[in-house]
């Protein structure tokens, strides 16, 4: 009896030892976890994973939003400028092939006129392009002695800018002006007429920023000419865009343009200094 019990016990122990060897062999084939992986494996799904994912998504969304293209179109803008001019008219004949009669210098008082504008702007990341055009028929005069200045203005302007700090842009561009002056001096029957066309290089600064979800502010200042076109060409504007719907709004502001130029034809030099400044109102479309 005792021999049978001993025999059974021997084989049971032998079987357990064999199973231990098999288990050990199986465990040795499994990949071992490093302390870091083991710690991660013990952590829940919100530990370690979510904090790393959230910042990357936030920065990606911020970068995408800042790089979005913004387009503003101003199909209708009305400018009501006060127009003044100081002119120096060279001697010119009152009859064809007649003798030259003295010219003269004089300044006019301010008169309000109207001008039509249109323009657009494109902004993406740190770059911006602004373009606009103006057509105006302006008249100003002085009663005694008579000086009557009739001016037709047609110009186009484009500038590019790069952002250097927050909403501050450094700009460079060009303004093309086609001008026609019709000037009457005193009681002379013949008017003095000149049609200068000039290209003015420009440099300047601009500030463009949002004051809320529906309000944006733009402040622009440029200067140029440098004798390449006009002797002096100065322009500035302040504009507030008020969105009344997602893509439609009002553009309200104030614009200033000062020109000093000289035009020489047949050794007769005509000089003029003129200033236009006044309020601007119109329609804005935003995309």
Write the burial class of residue 230 (CB in 10 Å: 0-12 exposed, 13-18 middle, 19+ buried).
Answer: buried
pTM of the model: 0.76
Tens digits of per-residue pLDDT, 210-220? 999 999 999 99
Q: pLDDT band at 12, cuts 50/70/90?
A: very low
Query: Taking 50 as the threshold, does the pLDDT of residue 14 lie above it?
Result: no
Mean local confidence (pLDDT), 3-31: 46
Tens digits of per-residue pLDDT, 57-100? 544 444 445 568 999 999 999 999 999 999 999 999 888 778 88
The percentage of the chain sitting over the pLDDT mark of 70, rounded to a whole number, equals 77
Query: Taking 90 as the threshold, does the pLDDT of residue 143 lie above it?
Result: no
Q: List, in order of start, the domains of the chain with CATH numbers.
A: 2-62 (no CATH), 68-286 (2.40.128)
Tens digits of per-residue pLDDT, 234-271? 999 999 999 999 999 999 999 999 999 999 998 899 99
Nearest to 219 by CA among 201, 202, 204, 234: 204
Where do runs of H (alpha helix) occur along the chain? 2-29, 35-42, 50-66
- Give exposure, 29-40, as e/b (b: 16+ Cβ within 10 Å): eeeeeeeeeeee
Query: Taking 90 as the threshold, does the pLDDT of residue 163 lie above it?
Result: yes
Q: Which of 48-52, 55-59, 131-135 has the highest mean pLDDT?
A: 131-135
Tens digits of per-residue pLDDT, 170-206? 999 999 999 999 999 988 888 999 999 999 999 999 9
Nearest to 123 by CA among 169, 80, 184: 169
């Amino acid at each position: 009896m005792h021999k049978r019990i001993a025999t059974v016990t021997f084989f049971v122990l032998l079987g357990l030892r064999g199973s231990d060897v098999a288990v050990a062999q199986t465990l040795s084939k499994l990949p071992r976890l490093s302390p870091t992986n083991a710690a991660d494996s013990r952590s829940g799904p919100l530990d370690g994973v979510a904090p790393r994912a959230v910042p990357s998504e936030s920065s990606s969304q911020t970068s995408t939003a800042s790089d979005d293209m913004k387009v503003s179109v101003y199909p209708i803008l009305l400018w009501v400028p006060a127009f003044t001019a100081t002119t120096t008219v060279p001697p010119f004949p009152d009859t064809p092939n007649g003798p030259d009669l003295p010219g003269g210098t004089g300044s006019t008082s301010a008169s309000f006129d109207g001008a039509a504008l249109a323009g657009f702007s494109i902004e993406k990341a740190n770059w911006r392009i602004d373009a606009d055009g103006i057509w105006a028929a302006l008249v100003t005069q002085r009663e005694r002695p008579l000086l009557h200045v009739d001016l037709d203005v047609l110009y186009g302007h484009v500038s590019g800018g790069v952002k250097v700090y927050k909403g501050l842009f450094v700009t460079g561009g060009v303004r093309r002006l086609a001008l026609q002056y019709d000037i009457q001096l005193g009681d002379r029957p013949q008017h003095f007429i000149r049609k200068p066309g000039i290209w003015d290089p420009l440099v300047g600064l601009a500030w463009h920023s949002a004051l809320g979800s529906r309000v944006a502010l733009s402040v622009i200042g440029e200067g140029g000419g440098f004798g390449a076109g006009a002797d002096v060409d100065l322009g500035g504007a302040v504009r507030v865009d008020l969105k009344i719907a997602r893509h439609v709004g009002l553009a309200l502001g104030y614009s200033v343009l000062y020109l000093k130029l000289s035009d020489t034809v047949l050794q007769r030099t005509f000089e003029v200094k003129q200033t236009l400044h006044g309020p601007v109102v119109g329609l804005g479309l935003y995309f």
